[in-house]
Amino acid sequence: MLVPSLSSPIVPNLNLIFSPDFPLEEREGKAFAVPRAAGVPWSVARVGAGGEALRDVAQEIARRSGSIPDGALPESAPGDALGAYAFSFVRPSFASPFASQLEDIRFREYVLPAFGLWKDVDDVTWSRAAAQLRTHRHRGVDDFVIEIEAKGDERVLVARCPGRPETLGAGVGEVVAAARRSWGWLRKWFAEKPFDRGCALRIPPLDLCAVRVPDELIGKPLSGGDGRIIGDARHVVRFRLDGDALPPSEPGPIALGRGDAYERPFVCNGPFLVVVLGEPPRDELRLAAWIEAPEPPEGATAGAP
Clarify whether residues 81 and 198 are in a common domain. Answer: no
- Would you say 31 and 23 are in contact if contact means Cβ atoms under 8 Å apart? no
Q: Which residues of the chain have pLDDT under 50?
A: 38-39, 253-257, 259, 299-305
Clarify whether residues 265 and 157 are in a common domain. Answer: yes
Clarify whether residues 30 and 178 are in a common domain. Answer: no
The answer as to whether 8 is a domain residue is no
Range of the domain at 229: 17-36+43-90+206-240
The answer as to whether 81 is a domain residue is yes
Kindly report the CATH number assigned to the domain that includes residue 281: 2.30.39.10
> What local confidence, expressed as pLDDT, does residue 191 receive?
64
Clarify whether residues 196 and 232 are in a common domain. Answer: no
The answer as to whether 135 is a domain residue is yes
The answer as to whether 278 is a domain residue is yes
Beta partners for residue 160, in sequence order: 144
The answer as to whether 1 is a domain residue is no
Residue 195: name the closest of 253, 274, 132, 151 by CA: 132
Clarify whether residues 54 and 65 are in a common domain. Answer: yes
Clarify whether residues 188 and 292 are in a common domain. Answer: yes
pLDDT tens digit sequence for 146-181: 999 999 888 999 999 988 999 999 999 999 999 887
Q: What is the 3-state secondary structure (H, E, C) of the chain?
A: CECCCCCCECCCCCCEEECCCCCEEEECCEEEECCCCCCCCCEEEEEEEHHHHHHHHHHHHHHHHCCCCCCCCCCCCCCCCEEEEEEEEECCCCCCCCEEEEEEEEECCEEEEEEEECCCCCHHHHHHHHCCEEEEEEEECCEEEEEEECCCCCEEEEEECCCCCCEHHHHHHHHHHHHHHCCHHHHHHHCCCCCCCCEEEEECCEEEEEEECCHHHCCCEECCCCCCEEEEEEEEEEEEECCCCCCCECCCCCHHHCCCCCCEEEECCCCEEEEEECCCCCCCEEEEEEECCCCCCCCCEECCC
Clarify whether residues 210 and 200 are in a common domain. Answer: no
Q: Report how far apart the first and last C-alpha atoms of the chain are (Å, whole number).
A: 28
> What local confidence, expressed as pLDDT, does residue 278 receive?
85
The answer as to whether 4 is a domain residue is no
Count of the separate structural domains present in the chain: 2
The answer as to whether 11 is a domain residue is no
> What local confidence, expressed as pLDDT, does residue 302 receive?
47
The answer as to whether 64 is a domain residue is yes
Clarify whether residues 139 and 64 are in a common domain. Answer: no
User: 162 to each of 79, 171, 174, 292, how far by Cα in Å?
Assistant: 49, 10, 11, 13
> What local confidence, expressed as pLDDT, does residue 41 receive?
61
Q: How far apart are CA 197 and CA 262, in angstroms?
A: 8
Out of 223, 240, 257, a domain closes at 240
> What local confidence, expressed as pLDDT, does residue 303 receive?
47
pLDDT tens digit sequence for 218-238: 999 999 878 889 999 999 998
Clarify whether residues 200 and 212 are in a common domain. Answer: no
Clarify whether residues 235 and 116 are in a common domain. Answer: no
> What local confidence, expressed as pLDDT, does residue 245 receive?
84
- Would you say 149 and 231 are in contact if contact means Cβ atoms under 8 Å apart? no
> What local confidence, expressed as pLDDT, does residue 256 receive?
42
Clarify whether residues 129 and 180 are in a common domain. Answer: yes
Q: What is the pTM of this model?
A: 0.89
Clarify whether residues 273 and 154 are in a common domain. Answer: yes
